[in-house]
Structure formats: C-alpha cells, structure tokens
C-alpha cells in the first residue's frame, strides 16, 4: 500500500472495472465515484460524482470490444475531467485498440492508430500509459508523453517458475515467433528465459486468414513456447502450433500473448489446436465461464499500479523493465 495525498484520482470506464479495482487496491486508494452509462440511442454519458479540480487524474480504460463504445467512453471521460479543471489527465489504456492499423498497407488505407492518438490528445489527455503496443512506433504518433510498459517480464517470471532451470534443461526448449513480424519481441523473451529461437514462416492471404508454410529453426523433440503480443481470432497462433508439431516434430506447444482479444472462433480453434496452454494478461477481461480451459490469465494490474505511482510521483519507471 502506498500513501498519497488527496490530489490523485482514479476513475474507470466499463471495459475492465475489475482491473481498475485491483489497481486501486494495490495503490491503497479508493476508486473515484463516477457513472459511465449509455443512453438508449447508444450515446456515451459520463458523470463525475466528486471534484477533480487540480487533481492528478488517471482514467483506466482498455479499448477492447466493443472497441468504438469503449473508445468513446474514454474520450468523453477525458473531456469531462478537462472541463472540470483537472490538473493533469493520464489515459491508462492497458490494451490500445486500432494499433494494428499503424501504416498504409495499400492505397487509400487510413492510419487509424494515428487518428486515435489525435483524438485522445484533442480530448484533453496529457499523458498515455499503455502496454505492448502492436507496433512500438505508435508512441511517435502522440504529441504527448507515452509510457509504454512491457508484458515480457511477467511471462519471464511465469515460465522460469513453471520450468526452472535447475529442473528442466532449457536446451530442450525453444521460443517460437508465430510470424516474422514478432521476431524481435520473441528474441528478447528467449534471451531472458535462456532458450533457443525459432520462427514460423507463413503467408497471409487476407485479414484473419493465414497459411503456414515452414518452420525455421530446430524444434524437433523440443517443448515450444509461442510468443506474441496479441491473440485475436487465433488463426495464426493455432496454425503455427499445429505446424510445429506436424512439420517440425515438436514435443509439445505452449503459447503466451499479452492481449487476449479472442474474437470469433478463437476459443474453438484454441481448444482444437496443439496448444497445451495459452497464457494471456488481464489487459482485456476474459468472458465469464470461459469456454476454453486451456487459457490462463496473469494479473498485470500491480505493474500498472507501480507505473501510476511513478508517474504521479514524477519518478522514472525504468525499474518496471
């Protein structure tokens, strides 16, 4: 528990209230009183039920599905705090939606991640706190400070406890990137858990559909840990896992990803895949009575609580990495 003055306030929207409550518990401060609701026609409505004048305000809201509803809630919350004369407004966005639209993949494409960054700034946010952006360069889309937390340390701790080096030979383990784009983050993770690295080469025909082509690296007879930043429909992840077993001859396959978006057929695909266990963070809440018992969730609310403490205190967050 951390002692604070009266000039810090934490509010949350409807995307992940349990996460926000855990952050407040870690910090030892109460959740700010507010009402975030939707009118009959779908408009977002926010009412702050306590003063924020001159306060250091943190608004916790993942822009997960329904993405547009939660994004609009966040924008209206920021505007409400700005008009109520908040001293500083930090948008705490554990999962930043639209991050995959970070460039023009073809002619006349929008760059929606930049648009969202502009909207947050225009609404009145002074700072953004987020975790594992799909593309780290999105930080440059903002004209305000961005604190970019990493989920990597939590996974490192989890797997070193699950497969301790004094019990398991890490030469028989390999970290696998499910595509070429995730190689950098997979390499950093592999170095920290002292395991080898492999890559699944795939060809994506269209959005959310991919064809696995080849396994680059030695995975035969080894335990594989697929490492990525998010799981959406789980097509890429499950195809990669199946390829590791069927093509590469892997012994067994685990998987981890920071953000469990888990849309459409994701649960069914994971259940029927070669993946033995999928570990995700609670940046996005899992549905009640999760239909897939292979999925495990790790709590990163304490990391965000520590980051908020550093931001509020004006100290470096370097120790979180």
Q: Provide the annotated active-site residues.
A: 202
30 alpha carbon, distance to own chain's centre: 24
Residues of the chain by 3-state class (helix, strand, coil), percent to 5: 35, 30, 40
Helix (H) or strand (E) holding 114: helix 112-123
**Residue with tokens 């395991």, as numbered in its chain:** 195
Q: Which two tokens stand for residue 175?
A: 């970290």
d(CA 143, CA 116): 12
For 98, residues 6+ apart whose C-beta sits below 8 A from its C-beta are: 63, 67, 71, 112, 113, 115, 116
Which residues share a beta bridge with 308? none
Say how many C-beta atoms besides its own lie within 10 A of residue 203's C-beta.
Answer: 9
Torsion angle of C-alpha atoms 272, 297, 98, 204, degrees rounded to 10: -30
**Residue with tokens 């608004």, as numbered in its chain:** 59
Q: Which two tokens stand for residue 296?
A: 């495990």
Collapse the DSSP code of 217 into the 3-class scheme (helix H, G, I; strand E, B; otherwise coil) and give the result: coil
- Gap between the terminal Cα atoms of the chain: 21
179 alpha carbon, distance to own chain's centre: 18
Which residues share a beta bridge with 128? 91, 146
Say how many C-beta atoms besides its own lie within 10 A of residue 222's C-beta.
Answer: 23
């Amino acid at each position: 528990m951390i002692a604070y003055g009266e000039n810090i306030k934490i509010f949350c929207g409807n995307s992940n209230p349990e996460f926000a409550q855990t952050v407040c518990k870690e910090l030892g401060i109460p959740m700010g009183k507010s009402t975030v609701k939707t009118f009959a026609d779908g408009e977002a409505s926010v009412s702050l039920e306590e003063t924020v004048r001159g306060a250091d305000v943190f608004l916790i809201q993942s822009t997960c599905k329904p993405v547009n509803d939660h994004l609009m809630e966040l924008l209206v919350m920021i505007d409400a705090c700005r008009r109520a004369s908040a001293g500083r407004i930090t948008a705490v966005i554990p999962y930043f939606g639209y991050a995959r639209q970070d460039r023009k993949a073809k002619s006349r494409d929008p760059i929606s991640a930049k648009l969202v960054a502009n909207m947050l700034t225009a609404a009145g946010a002074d700072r953004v706190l987020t975790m594992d952006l799909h593309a780290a360069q999105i930080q440059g889309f903002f004209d305000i400070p961005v604190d970019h937390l990493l989920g990597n340390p939590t996974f490192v701790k989890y797997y070193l406890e699950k497969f301790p080096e004094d019990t398991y030979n890490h030469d028989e383990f390999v970290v696998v990137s499910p595509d070429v784009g995730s190689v950098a983050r997979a390499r950093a993770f592999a170095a920290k858990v002292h395991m080898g690295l492999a890559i699944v080469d795939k060809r994506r025909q269209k959005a959310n559909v991919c064809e696995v082509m080849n396994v680059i690296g030695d995975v035969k007879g080894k335990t594989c840990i697929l490492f990525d930043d998010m799981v959406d429909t789980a097509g890429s992840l499950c195809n990669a896992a199946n390829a590791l077993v069927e093509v590469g001859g892997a012994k067994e396959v685990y998987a981890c990803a920071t953000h469990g978006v888990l849309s459409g057929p994701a649960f069914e695909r994971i259940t029927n895949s070669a993946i033995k266990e999928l570990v995700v963070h609670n940046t996005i809440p899992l549905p009640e009575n999760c239909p897939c018992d292979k999925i495990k969730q790790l709590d990163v609310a304490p990391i965000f609580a520590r980051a908020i403490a550093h931001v509020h205190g004006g100290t470096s967050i370097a120790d979180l990495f």
